[in-house]
Amino acid sequence: MEEKQLLMIPGPTPVPQSVLLAGARPMINHRGPEFKAAIEECTAGLKRVFKTKHEVFILTCAGTGGLEAAVVNMLSPGDKVLSVSIGVFGDRFAAIASTYGVNVEKLAFDMGTAADPKKIEERLKADAGKEIKAVFVTHNETSTGVTNDLKAISAIVREHGALLLVDAVSSMLAMECDMDGWRLDVVVAGSQKAFMIPPGLSFVAINDRAAEAMKTAKIPRFYFDLGKARDYLATGETPWTPAVPLVLQLREALRLLEKEGLDNCLKRHARLARATRAGVKALGMKLLADEKVASNAVTAVRKPDGIDVSALRKLMREKYGVVLAGGQGSLKNEIFRIGHLGLVNEGDIVAALGLLGLGLKGLGMKVDPGAGASAALQVLGE
Ligand code: PLP
């Protein structure tokens, strides 16, 4: 049943047909007028998505490359940063900076919980000498399905004066991320998440405070030099050969998103996430995250007693064509994750929860297999 899969992982996500077709065309010159028109349209569209009037760069790389670009363009070896982590991706942001000789202080919170803004405030208030140059935050921690209160954290960081670098790889378009309104300095997103295009592009936005910091940042950089990206973008090009088909796919996806309406896209994600959580609970399972901080992009579900996560995922994939994600890091065998971002609708959620009921029953759990789909339908019908 390889041909018909319900891909319910938190990226890569399914891709709409018109987006697939936008990439399936004869190659064009990446230094010609067609590409110039495409990258200019994409950059303008991304500014609307990020809610920023500042600069946005399209890089050919994974989301991790975008995070690396943020680090190397903003900091110097020896700079002190406070890296807030609530899971695997928060840890990765810190690891990138450590690799480049940045002096990283980690402020970690338990997996499954959100960062406590008060703890961040306490730490920044204790930094009377203003040694902390930047704060790193993951907006949506994909490994645990928890969303941080970025608006509150940003207000605290601005009070201190440090730069705020945000990993919005899995949050952008799945939940509100208002770069200028919340005064975020650097925001990184990735193509394979709610943008509905294949993996391979990362988007890095920088405001004017970040542009100032870039002038004095001394970490060596070449491929990820945003100064070069800026110079080339002024002529409608990128410094290096970009993933041309992905840029054309991005243009099509942004057109689809504008048609849906960016606010409607956010509302859709919120509604489908609510329905997913209701369905999971109705199947007798527990959510990892408190619902107040639960993500609109991905739901992390605690392993039910007596159920093996890999056996459940295997059965779901092989028998029902539903692809679920496992846990990461220390949660590897403790949770599974249901992605609901990008090209996802009511039917996908109801089908996934209905089939999950069958899967759980098939593995011996005493459960009404239709309870999850039914609870989801209740939410969707409200
Ligand atoms: N940050 C977050 C929050 C993510 O969810 C991911 C990928 O899942 C990344 C960073 C890394 O992105 P990539 O796998 O494209 O390098």
* Atom in ligand 1 nearest the alpha carbon of residue 67: 10
Q: Is 64 in the pocket of ligand 1 (CB under 6 A)?
A: yes
Domains and CATH numbers, the chain: 17-259 (3.40.640.10), 261-380 (3.90.1150.10)
252-294 residue pLDDT tens = 999 999 999 999 999 999 999 999 999 999 999 999 999 999 9
Residue 1 has pLDDT above 80, yes or no: no
DSSP class of residue 143?
A: T
Average of per-residue pLDDT across 236-243: 98
52-67 residue pLDDT tens = 999 999 999 999 999 9
* pLDDT classification of 302: cutoffs 50, 70, 90: very high
Residue 121, pLDDT score: 98
Residue 4, pLDDT score: 86
Strands (DSSP E) contained in the chain are: 6-8, 55-60, 80-85, 103-108, 132-138, 140-141, 146-147, 163-167, 186-190, 201-206, 298-302, 322-326, 335-339
Q: Is 191 in the pocket of ligand 1 (CB under 6 A)?
A: no
If you search the block for the tokens 């645990």, which residue do you land on? 144
Residue 49 CA to residue 370 CA, distance in Å, equals 37
Residue 242 CA to residue 301 CA, distance in Å, equals 38
DSSP 245-267: HHHHHHHHHHHHHHHH-HHHHHH
Residue 346 CA to residue 360 CA, distance in Å, equals 21
Residue whose CA is at the smallest distance from ligand 1 atom 9: 63
Residue 212 CA to residue 317 CA, distance in Å, equals 49
Query: What value does the mean pLDDT of the chain take?
Result: 97
Residue 163 CA to residue 91 CA, distance in Å, equals 18
Percent above pLDDT 70 for the chain: 99
Q: Give residue 362 CA to ligand 1 midpoint distance, Å.
A: 33
198-225 residue pLDDT tens = 999 999 999 999 999 999 999 999 999 9
Residue whose CA is at the smallest distance from ligand 1 atom 13: 63
If you search the block for the tokens 């935050």, which residue do you land on? 137
Phi then psi for residue 25, to 5 deg, are -150, 165
Residue 3, pLDDT score: 74
* Atom in ligand 1 nearest the alpha carbon of residue 143: 5
* pLDDT classification of 2: cutoffs 50, 70, 90: low
Q: Is 138 in the pocket of ligand 1 (CB under 6 A)?
A: yes
Phi-psi region of 11 (alpha: psi -120 to 50; beta: other; left: phi over 0): left
Q: Is 245 in the pocket of ligand 1 (CB under 6 A)?
A: no
Q: In testing the pocket of ligand 1, which one of 67, 111, 166, 169 has its CB within 8 Å of the most ligand atoms?
A: 169
DSSP 270-315: HHHHHHHHHHHHHTT--BSS-GGGB-SSEEEEEPPTT--HHHHHHH
Residue 336 has pLDDT above 90, yes or no: yes
Residue 174, pLDDT score: 98
Which residue, among 94, 99, 101, has the nearest Cα to 77 in the 3D structure? 101
The secondary element (H helix, E strand) that includes residue 221 is none
116-170 residue pLDDT tens = 999 999 999 999 999 999 999 999 999 999 999 999 999 999 999 999 999 999 9
161-197 residue pLDDT tens = 999 999 999 999 999 999 999 999 999 999 999 999 9
pTM over 0.95: yes
